Chain A
Amino acid sequence: AQKVTQAQTEISVVEKEDVTLDCVYETRDTTYYLFWYKQPPSGELVFLIRRNSFDEQNEISGRYSWNFQKSTSSFNFTITASQVVDSAVYFCALSERWGSNYQLIWGAGTKLIIKP
């Protein structure tokens, strides 16, 4: 079975601190995709990044960076110099074949609280 584990249920830091959200996945597929989404209090899930299993280069986008390590089946997300607006629930997801389509297997989410 394919599974996504976000062991950190909730993280609370003070603004400007760096914070890393962990994601560990399990899959038997050799080709797969991983995603991170952000869900602010308004409810909408916002797509942040997609990574395919063949691309192990780390990615940086402004204050956000992602560390993909196949050897440990992890796809961790770091926010540098956190801001109050980063407060949200963050979800990691794995793409899995489902019938003739693909579905996303979601982690339980990590609630991130940034205090001013």
Chain B
Amino acid sequence: ETGVTQTPRHLVMGMTNKKSLKCEQHLGHNAMYWYKQSAKKPLELMFVYNFKEQTENNSVPSRFSPECPNSSHLFLHLHTLQPEDSALYLCASSQEGGPGQPQHFGDGTRLSIL
């Protein structure tokens, strides 16, 4: 089984829909991350959870709402998104939130907003 699993792989939704992205890690890590990857732009860190506690929010609009029920699971709840939110959303985990910790990524969810 892969280390970090994201579902769904693809999601198409209207601007008024509510959906959730799911991430699960099987690596025994304590830190989890949500990233947004848009075309022609560097990866943008959205949220960080360390030991289930949200430690950072990179000024993400409130239409994105993360949830981390335990160290293995991370959700991103989506509500009233905009067309510019169409992107690849990547989940990652690391042993801890320290500086030298490599992050392990899932395959991502390709989100399209109609």
**Residues of chain A at the chain B interface (Cβ within 8 Å):** 4, 31-33, 35, 37, 42-47, 50, 52, 91, 95, 97-109
> Interface residues of A: mostly helix, strand, loop or mixed?
strand
Partner of B100, one of A42, A95, A109: A95
Min distance, Cβ B76 to any Cβ of chain A, angstroms: 16
- Inter-subunit contact A101/B43 (CB<8 Å): no
Partner of B55, one of A37, A45, A100, A108: A100
Partner of B99, one of A44, A46, A95: A95
**Residues of chain B at the chain A interface (Cβ within 8 Å):** 31, 40-43, 45, 48, 50, 55-56, 58, 88, 90, 92, 97-108, 110
The residue in chain A whose Cβ has the minimal distance to the Cβ of B31 is A101
The residue in chain B whose Cβ has the minimal distance to the Cβ of A97 is B99
Q: Given that A43-B88, A44-B107, A101-B97 are contacting pairs, would A107 and B42 also be in contact in the complex, using a CB cutoff of 8 Å?
A: yes
Partner of B42, one of A42, A44, A52, A108: A108
Q: Given that A43-B88, A44-B105 are contacting pairs, would A102 and B42 also be in contact in the complex, using a CB cutoff of 8 Å?
A: no
The residue in chain A whose Cβ has the minimal distance to the Cβ of B104 is A47
Partner of A101, one of B50, B88, B100, B110: B50
Min distance, Cβ B108 to any Cβ of chain A, angstroms: 4
- Inter-subunit contact A104/B108 (CB<8 Å): no
**CA of A103 to CA of B48 in the docked complex: distance in angstroms?**
9
- Inter-subunit contact A104/B100 (CB<8 Å): no
Partner of A91, one of B43, B98, B102, B107: B43
